[in-house]
Amino acid sequence: MAELDKLRERLVDAQKGLRDILFALRPVALTEDGLAAAVRALAERADGTNGARVFARDATSAVRLGPEVEAGAFTVLREAANNAVKTGRAKNVALEVTDEPTAVIGLVEDDGAGFDVAATLNTYAGRGSLGLLQMREAARLIGAQLSIDSSPGSGTRVRLRIPRSAGPAGS
C-alpha cells in the first residue's frame, strides 16, 4: 500500500506539472474570454510565488484580438510577471490589460530589484537566458510596441501596446 501511495503522489505531481505547462502555453481563459481574463488567471496562479503578491490591478479590456495576437501578448506579459517574481525579487507585481482608442495596453509593474536593461541585452550570449529577447520577438511578431523601463533598485515596468488593427481577422 505504501508503494501505491507513493505512485499516486507522483501521478498527482505529474498531472499538476502538465497543467502548469498547458496553462503556460495557452490558458483556457485566453481562448474563451480573451487577454484580460487570461491575465487575471495568470495573477491568481502566480500570486504567492517566491512570496510575491501578484495581482490584476486593472484587467478590464473587453477587446478581442486575433488568437495569435492574444497568444503573443500573453507570452510577453507572462514572461514579464515570471521575471519579476523569479529574478527581480519583487514583493508586489501589478498586471493590467486596458483599452485605449486605438490600442490594447498590457502592463506589468513591480517593486523588485530592477536591472540595467541595456547591459542585460548586451550580455545575453554569455548568460544563456533569453527572456527579454523572447519578449521582444513576441511583440514584434504581433506588431506591438514593447517598452521596458528599469534600473537597479527601482523595479521594472514592462508596457506592451498592441494596435487594435492587430485584432480579429475580418474586422
User: What are the residues facing 59 on neighbouring strands?
Assistant: 97
* Banded pLDDT at 67 (limits 50, 70, 90): very high
Residues 30-39 have pLDDT tens digits of: 989 999 999 9
The rounded distance, in Å, linking the Cα atoms of 104 and 86 is 26
pLDDT at 22: 59
> Model's pTM, two decimal places?
0.81
Q: Which of 11-15, 40-44, 117-121 has the lowest mean pLDDT?
A: 11-15
Check whether 25 has a pLDDT greater than 90: no
Which CATH class, in words, describes the domain spanning 2-166? alpha beta
Whether residue 62 contacts residue 88, with contact meaning beta carbons closer than 8 Å, is answered with: no
pLDDT at 170: 38
For the chain, percent of residues with pLDDT exceeding 90? 62
pLDDT at 4: 84
| Domain residue ranges in the chain | 2-166
In order of 16, 48, 55, 56, 78, the CA distances from 44 in angstroms are 16, 9, 7, 8, 12
pLDDT at 79: 93
Sheet holding 53-59, edge to edge: 53-59, 92-99, 103-110, 156-163, 145-150
H-helix or E-strand containing 135? helix 131-141
Check whether 91 has a pLDDT greater than 90: yes
